[in-house]
Amino acid sequence: MVADWQRWGFDKTVSMLQTYRAWGWIDGEPLPGGYSRFIWVDIDEDSWSDERWGGGEPFLQPRREVLELVDRAFAWGARVVYVDLLLDGTAGDFERQWLAALQRRTFPGGEPRHLLTARSLRQPLASSAGSFEAHAPPKRPRLRAAFWDTYQAPPGGVVVHPVLPRFLSDSDLRVRRWSIGQTAATGNADRFLPSPQLALYCLQPARHPPLAAWCERITEAHAPASGEHPEHAGEHAGHDALASTLLFPLGSNGRLGYSLFPALTALANAQIDEFRNAIVVIGGSYEESRDHFHTPVGRLPGALLNLNALDTMLRYGQLRELPWQAKWPLVLGLMVLVAALFAFGKRLVATVVAGGLVAVGFIFVVGPLLLRYGLWFDFGSPLLGIYLHRNIEEWHAAHAHAEMADDGHHTTHLPH
């Protein structure tokens, strides 16, 4: 029940953020790091079914067109490009030529550009060995090979970062959280693969201390030690549920919060000025991608969900709770206030007043704390106040019932 209330509170906060975006209260906030905006280059249904893209062949991702979009984004001034498409596999002649051209590419001022590439893992087969291996540590998933693996970034050129996008569903099957990354086997070594949003955050010079340790792990590669604890073989997801929570500051229809260009529009243009200093996400919304998620703001394609995760992480880092010096006085104060309302007032009036307190709190407390500082205050405490009042009521009722029973017992045994 409390978990349901907390999810309701989070979803109401998301709804409030949607309203703020529609009113223009969020758009005026510049992105940190000197980035101009987020841009989504969308492989929509029209692009996917067009012959220039491949004619809508199932499970086909034409590399030539995707890599041409990457080239154009960098040529138009993008500073970061994230390819939310799996282009695993070895390199052919075209890929080798493209990588060679990318390696020769430099930019004015010698400032590097960054290319984040989505990767996938090959999960280990379930062991069919005998029971003597039952307690053996699980094997790590293995990073699938991709043609980017041979690329060496030149000074002042494009740096390629492999990333692992992954989101976590709650019990209601809605996505509200993301995984920070996963350790995978690469050759004879292990490597930590960050989520796209963690990789983008780690490109910034000033980082929050808890995340600095994760940033240092991105470039790590180490031989697995014998007897290493099995938990290190898995996904780094449950370290802190709040820290892995997504915000959804999108538009009223779930998409208007970001600049959107269909893939064919981007391929057809010779220049798009909006790309200068932008963070560009290349990904698909077409239905056959099978890459859609249910969220508090509706069903979203994976590319848009990743874009929103990049936005959340870049603006706020990991979400965190209020310091205890501020949190507990607020929690206890709300619990006592709500319990008092229900104890000494009429239930209808108490419900209206408590609902008004929650609404005012969202507008003047939760919203500003989230949008300015990435701080979260859980409004589950009013519910605890109601529970406290109900427990007191039940105790009084039980006590009164016991007294009445005792009175009846004594009355029955009085002599005539």
pLDDT tens-digit readout, 233-246: 455 554 566 777 77
* Listed residue (70, 79, 67) closest to 114, CA to CA: 79
pLDDT of 397: 74
Give the global pTM: 0.79
Q: Are 140 and 184 in contact (CB under 8 A)?
A: yes
Distance CA 56, CA 68 (A): 18
pLDDT of 141: 84
By three-state DSSP, how is residue 300 classified? strand
pLDDT of 279: 95
Greater model confidence, 56 or 168 = 168
Phi/psi of residue 143, nearest 5 degrees: -70, 125
Residues 103-133 pLDDT 10s: 888 888 778 999 999 998 888 776 555 555 5
Please compute the mean of the pLDDT values over residues 386-405 and round it to a whole number: 71
50: DSSP letter: S
Categorize the per-residue pLDDT at 227 as very low, low, confident or very high, splitting at 50, 70 and 90: very low
- Lowest average pLDDT, out of 77-86, 153-162, 313-322, goes to 313-322
Residues 6+ apart with CB under 8 A from 79: 35, 113, 114, 277, 278, 279
Q: Cβ of 138: how many Cβ atoms within 10 Å?
A: 11
Mean pLDDT (the chain, rounded) = 77
